[in-house]
Amino acid sequence: NAGVTQTPKFQVLKTGQSMTLQCAQDMNHEYMSWYRQDPGMGLRLIHYSVGAGITDQGEVPNGYNVSRSTTEDFPLRLLSAAPSQTSVYFCASSPTHPPDTQYFGPGTRLTVL
């Protein structure tokens, strides 16, 4: 099993550009989530999904959209990138709901200029 995969590993955007961060898991987990990691602020939940077709907002959802058309994929879209969205983004999945043991992807380091 590949576990949780994320692409790209690194990305540089200009303010106002849009892009999609990809996340996929091959463990048949129903629960998936996106976090951003910022120094001193830990991991903050952006959006999560408890199954295909079901998504909900986390702690910091503004400026981000998600969809869950399949169990495997959970892409995160930045609609109009801003410098405040410079961060490391982690996708995670869990076999349980509510989540306890979460399996994390390797992360995407995003810089917005």
Partner 1 sequence: AQRVTQPEKLLSVFKGAPVELKCNYSYSGSPELFWYVQYSRQRLQLLLRHISRESIKGFTADLNKGETSFHLKKPFAQEEDSAMYYCALSLAAGNKLTFGGGTRVLVKP
Enumerate binding residues for partner 1 (CB under 8 A): 33, 35, 40-45, 48, 50, 56, 58-59, 90, 92, 97-102, 104-107
Structural contact between residues 15 and 113, judged by C-beta atoms closer than 8 angstroms: yes
Nearer to partner 1, 35 or 74 (CB): 35
Minimum distance, C-beta of residue 51 to partner 1, in the bound complex (Å): 11
Q: Tell me the residue ranges of DSSP E strands in the chain.
A: 4-7, 10-13, 19-25, 31-38, 42-51, 54-57, 64-66, 76-78, 87-94, 103-104, 108-112
Nearer to partner 1, 64 or 90 (CB): 90
Nearer to partner 1, 13 or 47 (CB): 47
